[in-house]
Structure 1
Amino acid sequence: MNWFTKTFSSTIGRKIVMSITGLFLCSFLVVHLLGNLQLFKDDGGAAFNIYSDFMAHNGIIRFMEIILVLGFLFHIYDAIVLTRRNKAARPIDYAEQRPQENSTWSSRNMGLLGTVILVFLIIHLWNFFVPARFGGLEGVVIEDVEYENLYLRVMESFNVWWYVAIYVISMVALAYHLIHGFQSAFQTLGLDHKKYTPFIQGFGYFFSVVVCLAFAAIPLYFFFFK
C-alpha cells in the first residue's frame, strides 16, 4: 500500500481527491435541493416533513450520509494541505503581480470562499440536522402518523433576518466556489480539451448559478411570503 499512500499524499494525488470529492458534493447539492423544493408546496409542510422522515430513517440514506461526511472531510483537509504547500513553495510574493490579468477572482479566493461555506455548514447542521437526528423538534400528525415537524423549524429560522442574510451570502460564496471548482475539477482529471472545455465551463457556470439561486430562494420565500 506504500505506492497508494505516496500517490494520494502527493500534490497531484490530493488535487485528484479534491476533484472527485468536489464533483461528488455537487451531486449531493442536486439531491438536497430536490428534497428542499418540497418546501414550496402549499400543504402546511406535509410533503417536506414526510420527505425528512424518510431521509432520517432510510438505511441506504443513512449509509450515504457517512460517505458524504467523509467526502466533506477529505475535500476540506486536502484544500488546507494544498493551500499550505502553495504558500510554502512561494513564501514571498513576486514584486509585481497582476493576478486579475491571468486568473479569476473566484480562483484567487477559493480559500476565503471555502471558509465562508464551512462556517455556514456548521451553523446549518447545528440548526437543522442535529435537532432532526437527535430530537428537540415538535411533533405533527399527518394522515394519522406522527412526524417531527422540521417544517416548523424551517419557518422559524427563515423568519430571522440575520439568518436569512447569512444563508443568502453563503449561497453567493458557494456559487463563486463552484464556478471555479467545477471546471477546475475536470481539468485536474485530465478532461481538458478544446472541444469539451467550453461546454464544461458553460455548464459549470449554469449549474453553479441555478443551484445556488434555487437554494437562496428558499429563505427569501419564507421571509417575505410566509
Structure 2
Amino acid sequence: MAKSAFLKSSIAKKYWMALTGLFLCLFLVGHLLGNLQLLAGRSTEAALQFNKYALFMTSNPAVKVLSYLTYISILFHAIDGIALAIQNKKARPVNYAYKNDSVSSSFSSRNMAVLGTLVLVFIATHMVNFWAKMHFDKNMPLQTIAAENMGQKVEFFVSTNNGLAGNDAFLGKFIPTNAVDGKYYFVEGNSIYLNREFKDIHDGNKLKKEKIKIAEGYKDLHKITIEFFKSKGKLFGAIPNEGLLFTIFYVFSMAVLGFHLWHGFQSAFQSLGVNNKFTPAIQFFGKVFSVIVPLLFAIIPLYIHFILK
C-alpha cells in the first residue's frame, strides 16, 4: 500500500511538473517576443513601443490573469521539482558500487535539480531588478520626448490618453515636464495630478486642496533596462563596471536555462505519456527550442552593453 501511494504521488507530481513546465515554455516565447523590441535601439519610437508593450503586459486584465498563472506555475514547478528530487533520493538511498552516469544519461538530466535552482535564483533577481521596479518603485521615471521650440529643447511627458475634458492647457497628449513643478502639478506612480485649491462654501469658505488626476504616462522600463546593462557604476559600491557583471550573469543564466530545457522539454512530453512516432520530432524541436530561445534572450543584454550607443 505504501509503495502504491508513493507511486501515485510521484506520477501526479510528474504530471504537474510537465504541465507547468510546458506552460512556462509558452511564457518564455511570449516574453522573448516582447523583449526583442529592445534590439530596436534608443530612438523615441522604439522606447515608446516597448513601454506601450510593458503597460499592456501590466494592465490588461487577461494578461494579468496569465501573469498570476505564471507566478503560480513557477512556484509549483520549483516546489514540485524539489519534492521529486527528495523522493527519488529516498527511493535509492544506497548507491551502486559502480555507476557511469555519463554513459547512460546526459549532463542536463543528471543535474535538473541544480539547474532548476539556478534558474529560480535568476528569476528572483530578474523580478527584483525589473518587475518590482515597474510595479512598486515610486521613483520609476515616466517616458519623455524632446522637441525643439524656437531654438530651445523642450521635454514632454507622453500621456497614454488625451487628458480629461476641460480648458486646462496641460490636459493633452503631451505634457511639458517643466509644468510639472511638484507643487501644482506632480507625478505619483504613472499618473500626473493637479493640486487644485478652492474655498469650500459648505464649510465656512475654508481653503482646501483637491488632487485631480489629469493624465497617465508610460513608465520608462525601456530606459531602466538600457541603464541596467550599460551601467558603469560599482556593484555593492565596490565592484566596478556593474553593467558588465549584470550582462555576464544574465548570459550565464540563459546558458543554465538552455541546459535545463535540453532535458526538460522532451521529458515533459514523456511524463505525459507521449511516446509514439512523434517522439523523435518532439526531441528535435525540444533541442532547437532549448538553444534558440535562451540564445535570443542572451543576445539582448550583449547587444545593449557592447553595441548599443
- How does the TM-score come out when normalised to structure 2? 0.69
The equivalent of 1:108 in structure 2 is 110
Which amino acid in structure 1 is aligned with residue 60 of structure 2? Answer: N
Residue among 282, 288, 291 paired with 1:200: 282
> How many residues align structurally?
220
Separation in structure 2 between the aligned mates of residue 206 and residue 15 of structure 1, nearest angstrom: 23
Matches within 5 A, 1:176-195: 176-193=259-276, 195=277
Pair 1:8–1:71, CA change in 2 (3 A)? farther
Structure 1: give runs of 5+ residues left out of the alignment. 1-5
Pair 1:28–1:7, CA change in 2 (3 A)? farther
- Measured against aligned partners, the alpha-carbon deviations of 1:179-201 in whole angstroms (never above 9, x if no partner) come to 100100101111112x2111101
The equivalent of 2:213 in structure 1 is none
Matches within 5 A, 1:36-185: 36-42=35-41, 43-44=43-44, 45-135=47-137, 136-140=139-143, 141-142=157-158, 144=174, 146-159=217-230, 160-185=243-268
The equivalent of 1:3 in structure 2 is none
Contact 1:113 1:177 in 2 (8 A): yes
Contact 1:8 1:17 in 2 (8 A): no
Which amino acid in structure 1 is aligned with residue 289 of structure 2? Answer: F
Please state whether the residue corresponding to 1:223 is helix, strand or coil.
helix
Separation in structure 2 between the aligned mates of residue 169 and residue 69 of structure 1, nearest angstrom: 23
CA shift, 1:7, in A, is: 9.8
Identity of aligned residues (%): 44
Query: Larger Cα Rg: Structure 1 or Structure 2?
Result: 2
CA shift, 1:98, in A, is: 0.3
- Measured against aligned partners, the alpha-carbon deviations of 1:6-51 in whole angstroms (never above 9, x if no partner) come to 7997000100000000000000000001111111123341211111
The equivalent of 2:183 in structure 1 is none
Please state whether the residue corresponding to 2:217 is helix, strand or coil.
strand
Which amino acid in structure 2 is aligned with residue 196 of structure 1? Answer: F
The equivalent of 2:24 in structure 1 is 25
Structure 2: give runs of 5+ residues left out of the alignment. 144-156, 159-172, 175-215, 231-242
The equivalent of 2:294 in structure 1 is 212
Q: Which has the higher contact order (CA 8 A, sep 6+)?
A: 1
CA shift, 1:93, in A, is: 1.4
Structure richer in strand, relative to its length: 2
Name segments (4+ residues, structure 1) moved above 2 Å. Answer: 6-9, 141-146
Pair 1:9–1:52, CA change in 2 (3 A)? farther
